[in-house]
Structure 1
Amino acid sequence: MDMYQNILVVIDPTTDEQKALKRVIDLASRINTAAPDQQISITAFFSIFDFSYEMTTILSSGERDTMRQMVIKEKQKWLDDIISVSNSPIAITSKVVWHNRPFEAIINQVIEHKYDLVVKGTHQHDKFKSVVFTPTDWHILRKCPCPVLLVKEHEWPQQGNILAAVNVGSDEAEHLSLNEAITKQAKNIAKLITANVHLVNSFPGTPVNIAIEIPEFDASEYNSAMQAHHKEAMSKHANSFDIPLGNTYVEEGLPEAVIEQAALKIDAELVILGTIGRTGISAALIGNTAEHVIDQLDCDVLALKPEGYISPLDVQ
């Protein structure tokens, strides 16, 4: 099974409950069971920065460096304690770095050590508010070259549901390869956690200006034709992956609304979607759309990049 082997889990120093770490241990244990010969490496990581150490003129640069190393060492001990009580059957390495931009610290690690998955928890506020994403989350989603799993509170029970958000209406190579990658990941993870795979695809309704500018334009005929095109493309895609047509959803509307409705309908444990960090035609969802989708979901989200994506932080 083509699965994750080198995983970076981002630790949250502001909380005792490390849900991302729990999820990684669970996922890695399942991969280990499914493929015992596969070596899995987990690194627990976070970056720290204290501006006061940078600003003080009392200390020389050497002394500042010593102070930084002391802070890192102290945090490293805290992290090692968290790892030791996690009872992970798989060895976990700890790493703390000094960096003033957490997202850059994470992505630098990915580029340097070729991680194939980043796992990070999200902040849950009180029940009247949605999950609050930090700028770090958005930067990672947009700029991280490997898949990113954002962990929420939802459990992963057996015979649960995974929702893969695809864009089957396009013939563009980038879309087709991303659809394939998203669906393959869904099938692989479904095998690991004994879940069912569902596919969702949204398509836009009639552009309002066309209906105004061309009075004879038949909006309902246009919508029917669009729906038929997407349903046929979805059927072809689902068949090629042996996914039952009863597990597919093709709806008119904005991706964020359509994906959220489908996820709620099946009580999805995990939604897998494609994001792209640059402007231009999307490989599934661009910036804000991806953020709207993820904000509204109550389950874990796995975000993938198109094949060949190069992070803007990778200057090599």
Structure 2
Amino acid sequence: MNTILGVITDWDLASQVFNRAKQFAKAYSARLRIYCPVSDQLEEMNRYIGFDNYESVKQEILAEANRRLEALVGGDQNIDWRVDWQTHRYKGVAEQAESHSADLIVMTMSQHHILADLLHKADDWHLLREAPCPVMLLSRAEHPFKSVVAAVDSLDESEEHQSLNGRILDEAQSLSKMMALPLQVISVVPDPAYIYGDMSATTLMVDYRTQAVNTARDNQSALLSRLGISPDKREVMVGRVEAVLEEAVKDTGILVLGTIANKGWKGFFLGNTAERILGRIEGDVLVVN
């Protein structure tokens, strides 16, 4: 890695983001850049009301953000930092990552609420579609970690998913080594019970589940062998993907998973596995695109 981009979106959690981004930069001997995209609800109100002193208030908000960020960086000449005004913060983050060829974005998770997400998607949701590099979403509560858990899809043998699996495992292995944590690889076979209800107990469905588990296990082994990765633990489990992964990392694991963005209206309402679990995972999540 050459450049780590730390993103400050919540001043209460600024030190957490700064320290984790600095840790990554040191471990990877990378350049650290801290970015603070400032936005305020006053801007939306100003569109309808037209405050006389709006520009003055905006400049005061930017000046305060600059003072805070300067104090956070502490005069370290090796750290670049920038504050600017963004109507949509995720766009500013994506642009910064692109223009500085960032290899990793580090930021805290947005607070997710079901109704709010239905009406107005959080910045996380949009950023995962726009970011040109992996995004480390930090939990809003700090806690120690015991493992790195890489989630790979062992049933989809398409070239796109196989390539994504490779990137997930590369990032997970690198993170595992950097943090000196054991690496666990997990694949989830969707349980027919969630789709077909009582029909899942029929002989046909039981045979399907057994065959799917065996196929996933064989594909997972072949994938790890091809990449030359030997995890400390690997397993194939059956269930609802979100629930299984939530359980896998509940004992302070860092989850690494991939996203292949659904865009447009389909993506707005359905999202994908990576985005559906953001509001459920208590630990940190590294999302690889």
**Where on the TM-score scale, by shorter chain, does this alignment land: which range?**
0.7 to 0.9
Which structure 2 residue ranges, 5 or more long, are not aligned?
A: 265-269
Shift of 1:228: 0.8
- Aligned equivalent of 1:293: 277
- Aligned equivalent of 1:27: 24
- Aligned equivalent of 1:118: 105
- Aligned equivalent of 1:230: 216
* Map 1:228-267 → 2, pairs under 5 A: 228-244=214-230, 247-264=233-250, 267=251
For the 8 Å contact 1:143–1:277, the answer to whether it is kept is: no
Task: State the 4+ residue runs in structure 1 displaced beyond 6 angstroms.
Answer: none
Q: Distance in 2 between matches of 1:78 and 1:100?
A: 20
| Normalised TM-score (structure 2) | 0.80
* Map 1:65-80 → 2, pairs under 5 A: 68-69=58-59, 71-80=61-70
Change (3 A) 1:77 1:216: closer
Q: Distance in 1 between matches of 2:73 and 2:202?
A: 67
Change (3 A) 1:223 1:272: same
Change (3 A) 1:111 1:58: same
* Alpha-carbon displacement from aligned partner over 1:218-274 (angstroms, at most 9, x marks no partner): 22122111111111111222333455576112111221012112223xx34311111
- Aligned equivalent of 1:106: 93
- Aligned equivalent of 2:35: 44
Change (3 A) 1:272 1:245: closer
- Aligned equivalent of 1:302: 286
For the 8 Å contact 1:161–1:196, the answer to whether it is kept is: yes
Shift of 1:171: 1.4
Change (3 A) 1:161 1:246: closer
Q: Distance in 2 between matches of 1:187 and 1:46?
A: 31
Q: Distance in 2 between matches of 1:175 and 1:243?
A: 18
Shift of 1:110: 2.2
Question: Pick from 9, 15, 18: which aligns with 1:18?
Answer: 15
| Normalised TM-score (structure 1) | 0.74
Q: Partner of 1:296: helix, strand, or coil?
A: coil
What letter corresponds to residue 45 of structure 1 in structure 2? C
Shift of 1:14: 4.1
Q: Which moved more, 1:215-224 or 1:114-123?
A: 215-224
Q: Distance in 1 between matches of 2:32 and 2:212?
A: 46
Percent of counterpart pairs with the same letter? 24
Change (3 A) 1:181 1:255: same
Question: Is 1:162–2:148 an aligned residue pair?
Answer: yes
Q: Distance in 2 between matches of 1:68 and 1:245?
A: 51
Change (3 A) 1:138 1:271: same
User: How many pairs align?
Assistant: 274
- Aligned equivalent of 1:138: 125
* Alpha-carbon displacement from aligned partner over 1:190-221 (angstroms, at most 9, x marks no partner): 11111111111111233755996xx9862212
Question: Is 1:81–2:81 an aligned residue pair?
Answer: no
CA RMSD in angstroms, aligned pairs only: 3.4
Question: Is 1:271–2:255 an aligned residue pair?
Answer: yes
For the 8 Å contact 1:198–1:247, the answer to whether it is kept is: yes
Q: Distance in 2 between matches of 1:245 and 1:105?
A: 37
Shift of 1:28: 1.3
Q: Distance in 2 between matches of 1:109 and 1:17?
A: 18
* Alpha-carbon displacement from aligned partner over 1:94-118 (angstroms, at most 9, x marks no partner): 2111122212222222233332221
Change (3 A) 1:246 1:144: closer
Which structure 1 residue ranges, 5 or more long, are not aligned?
A: 33-38, 281-285, 306-316
Question: Pick from 3, 8, 14: which aligns with 2:5?
Answer: 8
